[in-house]
Amino acid sequence: MDEVESPSLTEVIIYIILQPGQFVDDESLDDDEDWEDWCEDGNDVEEVLCLFCSEKFHSVEKLIHHLKEYHNFNLETVANRYGFDVYGRIKLINYIRLTHPLPNFWENISDSIPWESENFLKPVISDDLLLRYVIDMEDTFESGAIDADMEGDELQNQRLQEKRLAESENRAYMAECTLTELRNELENARLLRSTLREILLDTTDAKEDAKEDELRFCSSDDAYFNSYSGTQIHEEMLKDRIRTEAYMNFILNNPALFRDKIVLDVGCGTGILSMFAAKAGCRHVYAIDQSDIINYARDIVMENQLENKITLIKGKVEDVKLPIEKVDVIISEWMGYCLLFESMLDSVIFAREKWLTVDGQVYPNSCSLNAVAINDKIMHDKSIEFWDNVYGFKMSCLKSTVLDDADIAVVKSETIISDICCLKILDVSSVKVDELNFQCPISLKINQAGCITALVVYFDTFFSKTESFSTGPCAPATHWGQTIFHLRDRLNVEKGEQIFGQFSCMKNKENHRNLNVNIVLESSINKNTFKLQQVYYLR
């Protein structure tokens, strides 16, 4: 048998990502015959999807011809312009498949490349034949044998110079960001691990990995419930008059909705909502909470002589058993930062589907998630520009660590420079869990010339047509504040300018109570032409 060359690290990593159901351990990597089998296993894919339309092809060569003829797009021209290796080509392909840009998008990129993030190593399409082609051609890319349709010595020299320039710029950038390399590698490792788990869960023989994921989710749940076991966080919420009085006024001012009804309080905390419902004349309240604060809630209920009206149950909503089959009303204060942080709405939906009667009600019954653009140079200087000059030294590479995480703060209303964009409306009586991962368009009309320093997101909560409260910058402050997504660079805008883009909100795969937010903003008016994309985390 001929000697088989051992796979490179690149081949191993990419092969694992693209092969659903395969698991690689140290021993299997040492088996040359297994590696040959792997290389032969990936030939079952028969069709490859176009990058810009719904056309499918039986070979990559036909796809490449289609891209050139019908979309005027040459993958190699773009890759060579930026001096991409196989990693760069993979990120570029996944970026296009994920964001669906126009074919000429790359011509308008002047500063940072929007697909530099290691997140774009994760395939958008499983068994993507185009990615396999790129991997198979890795040695050709490195040797410079791909022509990319440019003929003649002059064009070849031009391409070579452009490639060298791009490589020089890339080396300069990497030198400046040396301090963040370890962090990026760690994030990439987490991404690969998450991807592997997701792939393995798609197979029928992944039960052990499913158990591991269950333990991981239990761990994140334990941390979540422990954070609500102390008094301080409940004191903060109870002292939030906007929040607490909104619930109190709705319940006590609408006794007909609660009189003689069976009420379920999801995540009862100190039991304040349960006691409001008891005061409104309900028949009985069943209050559920997994955190240890429920032990104090029992004392509070007894102290107010409501133990015959309120039954407190310790446990997760998904695990407990109620002594009754159905309830008439569900009340809960489930909203988190950016509305969906901590994923408590999932438990409310579970309770609704399991226990609510057909004509039952959930309160609050709807919420809207909204966004505005702000111009707050002072905040931007303190959070972002600060790193450009720290006691006379540049620490700009640390900006990325700050930009990764969304801020929570109260925004001054006078800093708002756009109208309001409603990103999402949730009907709590009907919304499904899978709808809580979403992507929606952004449309902001600028009403004051200046610069955008951040996108601010907040939510409004509705109990009825007349009862509601807002967490926005123009309303009285609440303990939620607003969620602030700082932009790396200030964007100059003119009055009347229309800003478009996309807002994507997804549960984090490592901790389902955290959120990953992806924001794309773009505009083209006079000299103000820009397009930016940033990924943020709420954790």
| CA atoms within 13 Å, Cβ hemisphere of 170 | 14
Length of the chain: 539
The answer to whether residue 318 is catalytic is no
Amino acid at 433: V
Give bridge partners of residue 57 from the DSSP assignment.
48
Tokens, residue 387: 């790193």
Report how many helices (DSSP H) and strands (DSSP E) the chain contains, helices first: 18, 17
Angle at 344 between CA 338 and CA 345, to 5 degrees: 80
Beta pairing class for 498-507 and 438-445: antiparallel
Strands 468-470 and 450-462: antiparallel
Q: How far is Cα 347 from Cα 266, in angstroms, rounded to an integer?
A: 8
Q: How far apart are the first and last CA of the chain?
A: 53
**Using an 8 Å Cβ cutoff, are 396 and 494 in contact?**
no
- 26: its two tokens: 């140290």
Beta strands (DSSP E) in 86-207 are none
76, 333, 497, 522: the catalytic one is: 333
Can 107 be counted among the known catalytic residues? no
Of 331, 335, 304, 330, nearest to 242 by C-alpha is: 335
- What does each C-alpha distance from 211 to 131, 214, 215, 387 come to in angstroms? 31, 5, 6, 43
- Residue from 11, 76, 342, 497 carrying the catalytic annotation: 342
Residue pair 369/339 in contact (Cβ under 8 Å)? The answer is yes
Q: Please, are residues 429 and 493 in contact by the beta-carbon 8 Å criterion?
A: no
Residues with catalytic roles: 333, 342
